Structure 1
Amino acid sequence: MKPTSPQYQHCLDALNASPFFAALDQQVSQELLAMFTFEKVLKRDTRITGDDDQEFYLFVTGRAKVSVFHPETGREHIMSLLGSGDCFDVVSLLDAKPRNTVLTALDDVEFLTAPLSTVRKWLLEHPDFNKAFLPYMGNQMRQLADQIEDLALYDTEARLARLILRHITSNAPVHGLRLINDLSQETLAAMIGSVRVVVGRQMKVWKQNGLLANDRGQWSVDDLQALIAKAERQFKI
């Protein structure tokens, strides 16, 4: 991307706000931005990653989900949600191996792309960048570890509660949610290894009991302590 591009400053601001790149010197950020290309896609746009897609993505605005599907049943599991400042695919950036995932826009999305090989080379030439890279990578690995723990140890109600707690953005009196506040019950179910009808029933009960509130399709948490108690309940042996 050239400095004369109409999206240049907009994208530079997003780069500076990213947890992946925020610590970079301004000159280094500008150098990094020069190797990216700006793209914009509409809500529900889908990209299948793998051998034919060796691109690194940096999200500027909007949200996307990273999913895997069972080849026979078509059942979906959402591995992660990406928002402004997030990157994909950090794993392929490290091991140079493609991942077979589906990237789907949940909103109209703006993002920057560059070949993984180019970003990998840049990473090797800027070792100081690891100060930002390692914590971000650690956070990505922790999210996957949390998913494994949830599926192995907790029932559906606890998994849903733990998902919501991970996305709380504010303190009392009303706790808003980041990234998942307006997602469908089907999408939430795909994030915790359940099905839409089970998640819908649970959220209805929580709303009736005052744990959750919904205002014009936007979910929030009204009783944080009660939700924490739900999240701590493991499978009964």
Structure 2
Amino acid sequence: MNPASAFFEESARCLKQSSLFSGLVASAIEDIVTRCRRETWKRRRQLPMEETWQRFHILLSGRVRLSRSNPESGRMITLFLLGPGEPFCIFSLLDGKAHEVMLETLDDVTLLSLPMSEARLWLDEHPEFNRKLLPYLGEQMCSLAGLASDLALHDTETRLARLILRHVDANTTDQHATPRLINDLSHEFLAEMIGSVRVVVNRQLQHWKQEGIVDAHRGHLEVEALQELARRAEEQPHKALA
């Protein structure tokens, strides 16, 4: 991207505000933005990873889901839900391989994109980024491990409660909270994030609504009793409320 572009400063600002790129010197952020091109993708665009893995992408706005599905049963599981400032194709960046993952845009999205070779060159030239990248990769691996253990060890109510809590700001000091990234998703989508089906998730949310734990209706989800939701997740009370 040309530094004279009207979008250059906006793109650099988004990276500076992201947890992955924050703390880097301005010249490193400006360097990667210069190597990128800015793209816009329409909502509900679906792309198999073999069509995207040769480029590294960083979201500037909107949300992207990475998922896997069983073509025989039609069942789908969401692996990652990404928001602004987060990258995707990061595993391909590290191992140089395509992975069996489907990418779907949940909103109209804006992103930065650059060839994998350029991304690896930028990594070589800015080794200080590894101090941010390694913890981020650790979080991604923990997320996958948590998903696997939830599917194997917990019932639907517990899995749904854990999903919502993972998207609540840890600094929340109130019983009321708006989950980040997932508050406007359909019940079918929420079900695909916990390995369930829409009718089961809908029934559970309606039950919690009657108990005053959540306010849930089409395209809207709010937590009304955060402490009780934490109890349903079989966890200690939300740390910010303890």
TM range (shorter): over 0.9
- Which 5+ residue runs of structure 1 have no aligned equivalent? none
Letter in 1 for 2:143: Q
| Structure 2 match to 1:80 | 80
* Alpha-carbon distance in structure 1 between the residues aligned to 2:66 and 2:119: 20
CA distance in structure 2 between the partners assigned to 1:197 and 1:215 by the alignment: 13
- Is contact 2:46-2:105 (8 Å) kept? yes
Determine if contact 2:53/2:97 at 8 Å carries over to the other structure.
Answer: no
Alignment-mate amino acid for residue 54 of structure 1:
Q
Partner of 1:172: 174
Supply the distance in 2 between the matched residues of 1:46 and 1:188 (Cα, whole angstroms).
18
The CA deviation at 1:6 is 1.9
Any idea what SS the aligned residue of 2:21 has? coil
Match of 2:10 in 1: 10
The residue type paired with residue 220 of structure 2 is Q
CA deviation map 1:50-95 (0-9, x unaligned) = 2764111100001111111113222211101010111102211111
User: Is 1:194 aligned to residue 199 of structure 2?
Assistant: no
Rounded to whole Å, the distance in 2 between the matches of 1:49 and 1:117 is: 17
The match for 1:213 is 215
Q: Secondary structure of the equivalent of 2:142?
A: helix
SS where residue 35 of structure 2 aligns? coil
Match of 1:224 in 2: 226
For 2:147, the equivalent position in structure 1 comes to 147
Q: Distance in 1 between matches of 2:225 and 2:107?
A: 29
Instruction: List per-residue Cα deviations over 1:134-157 (Å, max 9, x = no partner).
Output: 111111111111101111110111
Q: Contact 2:28–2:126 (CA<8 Å) still a contact in 1?
A: no
Q: What do residues 186-220 of structure 1 show as CA deviations (whole Å, max 9, x unaligned)?
A: 00000000000000000000011000014784311
CA distance in 2, matches of 1:73, 1:61: 33
In 2, the alpha carbon distance for the partners of 1:159 and 1:173 equals: 20
Summarize the alignment of residues 33-44 of structure 1 with structure 2, pairs less than 5 Å apart.
Answer: 33-44=33-44
Secondary structure of the equivalent of 2:114? strand
Which has the larger displacement, 50-59 or 154-163?
50-59
Alpha-carbon separation, structure 2, partners of 1:109 and 1:51: 17
In structure 2, list runs of 5 or more residues that go unmatched: 236-242
Root-mean-square deviation (CA, aligned residues, Å) is 1.6
Q: Secondary structure at the match of 1:225?
A: helix
How far apart in 1 are the matches of 2:136 and 2:44?
Answer: 27
* Residue identity matched to 2:161: A
**Alpha-carbon displacement from aligned partner over 1:103-132 (angstroms, at most 9, x marks no partner):** 111111111111122212221232111111
State TM-score, norm by structure 2: 0.91
Counterparts of 1:74 and 1:152, CA distance in 2: 20
Q: Name the SS for the 2:50 alignment partner.
A: coil
Opposite residue 96 of structure 1, the aligned amino acid is G
**Count of residues in correspondence between the two structures:** 233
Percentage of matched positions with identical amino acids: 43
Paired with 1:174 and 1:215, the residues of 2 have a C-alpha distance of 16
